[in-house]
Structure 1
Amino acid sequence: MDNPLDGLIPDFSFGGSEFTALWQKLITAIWGIAILISIVYLALGLVSMAGASSDSNPNPQQHAQGRKKALWAGVSLAGLAALALIVGAILSFVG
């Protein structure tokens, strides 16, 4: 059986230039909000780690939870920051 999608290329201009500008603004707004959320989670994780490491009341469990939160937020932030590069690499590798 032949591939029915062979030679087809996605075209995102089907709604005209106004629609293209709108969905691009929407995607970049969502991307920017996701970056801000990951920065907030990173800050919360770092503050949690610092609070758990105080000299007056050290708490290893809270420090570990804060570290885990900060680590995941840092990985998420790096992924979001490099999202265009990641998508471009995947598309160039596949296509």
Structure 2
Amino acid sequence: MDNPLDGILPDFSFGGAEFTALWQKLIAALWAIGILVSIGFLIFGIVAMAGASGDTNPNPQAHAQGRRKAVWAGIALAALAGLAIIVGAVLSFAG
């Protein structure tokens, strides 16, 4: 069986120039919000680590939880920062 999608490429200009500008601004805004949220979680994770490793009352469990939050927030931030490269790489390998 032949590939029914062979030679068909996605075209995002179906709604005209104004619609294209609108969805691009919407995607950029969502991307920026995601970056800000991941930065917030990274800050909270680092603060939790700092608060749990004080000299007066060290708490290894709380430090580990804060570290885990900070690591995942850092991974999310790195993925969001490189989102354009990741999507471009996926599309170039798939296409």
TM-score of the superposed pair, with normalisation by structure 2: 0.99
Question: How does 1:1-95 map onto structure 2 within 5 Å?
Answer: 1-95=1-95
Structure 1, residues 52-83: CA drift from partner, whole Å, max 9, x if none?
A: 00001100000000000000000000000000
Aligned length: 95
Q: C-alpha separation between the residues in 2 aligned to 1:70 and 1:82?
A: 18
1:73 corresponds to which letter in structure 2? Answer: A
User: Structure 1 stretches of 5 or more lacking a match?
Assistant: none
TM-score of the superposed pair, with normalisation by structure 1: 0.99
Query: Helix, strand or coil for the counterpart of 1:12?
Result: coil
Displaced runs of 4 or more, over 2 A: none
Query: Helix, strand or coil for the counterpart of 2:43?
Result: helix
User: Structure 2 stretches of 5 or more lacking a match?
Assistant: none
1:19 corresponds to which letter in structure 2? Answer: F
The RMSD of aligned alpha carbons is: 0.4
Q: C-alpha separation between the residues in 2 aligned to 1:89 and 1:2?
A: 26
Q: CA deviation at 1:2?
A: 1.3
Q: C-alpha separation between the residues in 1 aligned to 2:88 and 2:3?
A: 24
Identity of aligned residues (%): 73
